[in-house]
Structure 1
Amino acid sequence: MLRSLLPSFIADCVFPDHKQTWKVHPTSYLDGLRGIASVIVFFCHYTEENFRPLTRAYGVDDDGLSGWIQLPFVRMIFSGRPMVHIFFVISGFVLSYKPIKAIHARDLDKCYTALASSTFRRAFRLFGPCVASTFIIMVLCQLGYLYHPHTSWSAQFWNWENVMFHQLTWPWEWDHDLRPGYDIHLWTIPIEFAHSMLLFMVILMFSRVRLRIRQAMVFGLMVYCLTCGKWAGFEFLAGLFLAEVHILQSAQPKDWESSDPIYHQEKWSAISTVKPLLHLFLVILGLFIGGWPNNDADKTSGIRYFLEQTPMPFAKMDKLAPQKFWFGLSAVFTVWSVGELPFLKRFFEGSLAQYCGRVSYAVYICHGPVLGYFQKRVLGADYIPATGEPGTPDFKQAIAAAGIKGILGATTVTQKTMSWFVGLCILGPIVIWVADIFWRAIDNPVVSIGRKFENACLDDTEPSPRAMGYSPAA
């Protein structure tokens, strides 16, 4: 019981005999990138809900005061919106990797088996942990610990059931933000599921097509999605395209294996100089675009240029559409470039990033309700003086200072930044702790249940001779 209640990295130190080992595979850096991205999403929601002035772009505040944390690149610490787009590109890459690798090995049976298995288990993987987490939230709501309870347990349950069927597991809106009840942050899950199915269908459709034709068609579908304003479809298909590029690069012969070493040495020298600089530039550009502010993009230096260059239909769809277009492009180039830069790849294959990758889905699921319960209690509020005349309808009593904001203040930019940091140091470990327990107690078992259920449903009987076209007489 003690081990199950401790975070896994602490439990591994206390109980080293039960420590689980983890292997690094060719795409482990993507797990690390997804893990760091999920932590940034948590930082984003924490900042937007408690320190919204810090999310403004540097230099565009009404009072003319800005803090260093609002500077370009630095603000990526809490820029969670572009991380969603990185999630989708990584999903497209990882879900495509095994079937595409089987296609290159000329093993279509293995490809079709991988596609069938992934399609069968995808709903378990995505919806199972969310159903469990929202059910727990529903119980906590009715007990009075979170949000607002309904009049009765039955009313609360049927409200939760409606959210499950018409928001959380509702894949028919493609890329619409359904803002599901109980945990609004799970709006990406039905989008993830719908586009996973689209991805599997595209792989199946092109599984018997020649390589160059398949790449051209996938690229054409990516462009088509952009011209239709479907950013999520573009990102998933871009992940498929990058997965095939990765497999092709892994299969290329080394330069020292060439019969003409002098020519290839000169060629490799030129490429080795330009290629890392190109990928480093793409990562830096992605970090800059990732700092796109939620408001006042038209007043933000640099970002204003990208806003003006946004093509149709993203330029006129809605207020957030321009940033989705640029976030999608930068996510594709970032995922591609991280795999091409050894120092970044090593970082995301490191123990910290890999741990974040293992608990990434749990962090994404758990951070909302954890913040909902703890953030007001921990952060409190700065002193607010009374307003109006006593005895008049517009009179409001003074609110006493409390919590971290009451101790450090939340008036100046420096006070807000210090309160933000201290609050994060307290709430961050709580979110990771809860997510770690959820990962081991619910997330991992749901994956195992999905695998076992698939195995139990498989038809492994031998086909009859009549089904194969043989007659008894033959």
Structure 2
Amino acid sequence: MGALGGLLRSAVPWGQRREDRYTALPLTGGSSDDGNSNYHDDNGEPKDLEQLNDSKHTKYHRFGCGSPSTRRWLSFLLPFFIAAPLGLTDRNLPATHATTYLNGIRGLACFAVLNHHLTMKQDAPWIFRAWGAGDADYHFWQLPWLRSMHAGKGMVCVFFALSGYVLAYSPARKMNAKGPKPLTYGDEMLTSLASSTLRRAIRLFGPMLVIVLLMGCQTYLLPFAHNYDGKAANIFEHLWVIWLRVIPVLNPYRSDYVMPEPVGQTWTLGFEYRLSLILFLVLMATSRVTTAARKSITLSVMVWAFYCDRRWDVFAFLGGALVAEMRFAPLSDDIARLCRTERLRPHRWLVTLLGFLAFMTGLAMCSIPEEAPGAGWPYSMFFDWATPASWNGHHAEPSASWIWYWGGIGSVIMLWGVEQLPLLQRCLSITPLAYLGEISYAYYLLQWGAVQVVGWPLQLYVEKHWGWSHRPAFALFYMSSQISCIVASDYFWRAVDLKFVTLARLVVVDWLGVGKKETNTAAAAAIAMAPMVAVPAAAAGYSQAAPYSPYTAQSEISDDDTLTVSDRDSVAESKPARLVE
């Protein structure tokens, strides 16, 4: 029982002390502000693994791994989810903070996308229908809301809403900061958006190109690769053909759907990059207006894109940014200003009820079926009369257009609902989901590789040579694909994904100098210690030193989305994500 209790305490974040809950942990050690000298050098930076090898770790000695070289090799070879419970790694997941739940949503969405890819061919057509759509459509996984566990296309809409939220979080906090804006507000906003724009391409397409190379070699060298046509004379010609297929994804000037084989899942990355550029433009254009005007402009762009060109992706992406704006500037404040009254404070239970209804409604919209959507419950209640004629067909590739219509709307509604439910946020912040969110980008990129190398060969072998029926063979296929994908994603996350985070900051900040702070400690200290100095004098001091600003006094979410939220500079504030404070 003691071991079980320890396991539960390690998985449930709300058992931590409140003051530690919102503090980010570097991936190489403890909190950067906890004062623990065992994990930080004299400059406050996390120590490297070699430096930590000299410290005593009882778990290492308990498992006979006291040798520094042995610990180093085990830390590298073992997946994090095995090495961490055994105490064989110095890497830690960031501590739970106010936006950790976004990692949980992202991890579950990736899980649903992989489920969709694993089942869409073997369990068609019933997997695409709602519960009760036909006489044979009464399977457990067709039940309302449970469909979300394999509704991959709807979860893509959730990805876009999350990306918009995360990229807009830091600018929204700066734009809605209390009190007068500092003299350097404009420079800070412009620098932040410039850095985000330049780093975005490296973070999105760097790991993708590594996957393209790996999948190209895999489909050429493995005889059981399903999507290798065998026409290339050698591996270099094969890689060149795949490169030509991938170029449209890297092209930010085309907005059609391109699914390059053998990495068809990368079609969303081209969308992510274009949507990021749109979001940065909207943020820059609205950085000087009031919050009410900013919400109105953002909503207008969303609706106009939805109406003019059926850009569901723009709607979902900017919708996530709108939810981030409402986190710092609730709608109740706008209503109070409009009515010229004091700040409105809706009852806590009313806010919770509205959040729950929004979450359930949005999740149902994101899991709308691909076939016969108007025939199954609860979709038959609204589909026929609420779906516009322009969205009721198969003319929006890569699938039925109504999926993107309802998914785009539902993803924004669902995200807003989760923002109002702190208890649900805590459930989404448990350690397994936080870890799945950390590796989610690699988990998304590697899914077809794991299926090709492990899942399909095993299923074909046991069916052909051992005579297994379809269901047991599918269960083996499913479990082996999931496990191998998670293990491979762990290695890719540590070896590739995090390295591109470092590379992006190195190129943009260190080499290009975007956002690089000038160090002049004496002048900065003089400004900080003389708050009553006249504004001209303070302005002169700003020109000579690294500017002091309340916007940079605390750590914040980086403006980079593909590295999951908790893997960036954490949010130090502990404000609950409520409709009102």
Shorter-chain TM-score range:
0.7 to 0.9
Count of matched residue pairs: 420
Distance 1:96 1:251, change over 3 A: farther
Deviations, residues 114-165 of structure 1 (Å, cap 9, x unaligned): 1111101000111010100110111122213533142212311221221232
C-alpha contact 2:111 2:149 (8 A) present in aligned 1: no
Post-superposition offset of 1:357: 0.9
Distance 1:35 1:181, change over 3 A: same
Post-superposition offset of 1:248: 2.1
Which of 494, 513, 521 aligns to 1:440? It is 494
- TM-score, length-normalised on structure 1? 0.82
SS at match of 2:120: helix
Deviations, residues 333-380 of structure 1 (Å, cap 9, x unaligned): 111111211221001121111111100101100011111222222223
Which of 247, 262, 266 aligns to 1:165? It is 247
Equivalent runs, 1:119-134 vs 2, <5 Å: 119-134=197-212
Residue identity in the other structure for 2:410: S
Residue identity in the other structure for 2:289: V
Post-superposition offset of 1:189: 0.6
Deviations, residues 57-95 of structure 1 (Å, cap 9, x unaligned): 23445x736422222222222111111001101111100
C-alpha contact 1:47 1:54 (8 A) present in aligned 2: no
SS at match of 1:52: coil
* Whole-angstrom distance in 1 between the partners of 2:78 and 2:157: 32
C-alpha contact 2:204 2:269 (8 A) present in aligned 1: yes
Deviations, residues 407-451 of structure 1 (Å, cap 9, x unaligned): 3x33xxxxx4x6555543332111100111111111110111111
Post-superposition offset of 1:250: 12
SS at match of 2:253: helix
Moved more, 123-132 or 24-33: 24-33
C-alpha contact 2:80 2:89 (8 A) present in aligned 1: no
Which of 79, 83, 95 aligns to 2:151? It is 79
Distance 1:137 1:373, change over 3 A: same
SS at match of 2:206: helix
Which of 222, 230, 240 aligns to 2:321? It is 240
C-alpha contact 2:355 2:417 (8 A) present in aligned 1: yes
Residue identity in the other structure for 1:45: H
Distance 1:159 1:20, change over 3 A: same
Distance 1:422 1:161, change over 3 A: closer
Which of 403, 407, 423 aligns to 1:323? It is 403
Residue identity in the other structure for 2:316: E
RMSD of the alignment, in Å? 2.6
Post-superposition offset of 1:2: 3.6
The answer to whether the aligner puts 1:298 opposite 2:374 as a matched pair is yes
Aligned to 2:511: 456
Aligned to 1:154: 236
- TM-score, length-normalised on structure 2? 0.67
* Whole-angstrom distance in 1 between the partners of 2:138 and 2:133: 8
Equivalent runs, 1:11-90 vs 2, <5 Å: 11-16=83-88, 18-57=90-129, 58-60=131-133, 64=136, 66-90=138-162
SS at match of 2:368: coil
Which of 154, 158, 163 aligns to 1:91? It is 163
Residue identity in the other structure for 2:321: L
Which of 266, 286, 289 aligns to 1:206? It is 286
Aligned to 1:286: 362
Greater fraction of residues in helix:
1
Post-superposition offset of 1:241: 1.0
Aligned to 2:537: none
Aligned to 2:174: 102
Residue identity in the other structure for 2:503: I
Post-superposition offset of 1:312: 5.1
C-alpha contact 2:458 2:476 (8 A) present in aligned 1: no
* Whole-angstrom distance in 2 between the partners of 1:15 and 1:202: 46
Unpaired runs of 5+ residues, structure 1, are: 253-262, 383-399, 411-415, 463-474
Deviations, residues 91-117 of structure 1 (Å, cap 9, x unaligned): 111001112222223323222221111
The answer to whether the aligner puts 1:427 opposite 2:481 as a matched pair is yes
Equivalent runs, 1:245-256 vs 2, <5 Å: 245-249=326-330
Distance 1:157 1:379, change over 3 A: closer
Which of 342, 347, 359 aligns to 2:439? It is 359
SS at match of 2:136: coil
Deviations, residues 250-284 of structure 1 (Å, cap 9, x unaligned): 998xxxxxxxxxx99xx86x622222112111222
Post-superposition offset of 1:21: 4.3
* Whole-angstrom distance in 2 between the partners of 1:425 and 1:306: 36
C-alpha contact 1:89 1:331 (8 A) present in aligned 2: yes
Moved more, 206-215 or 45-54: 45-54
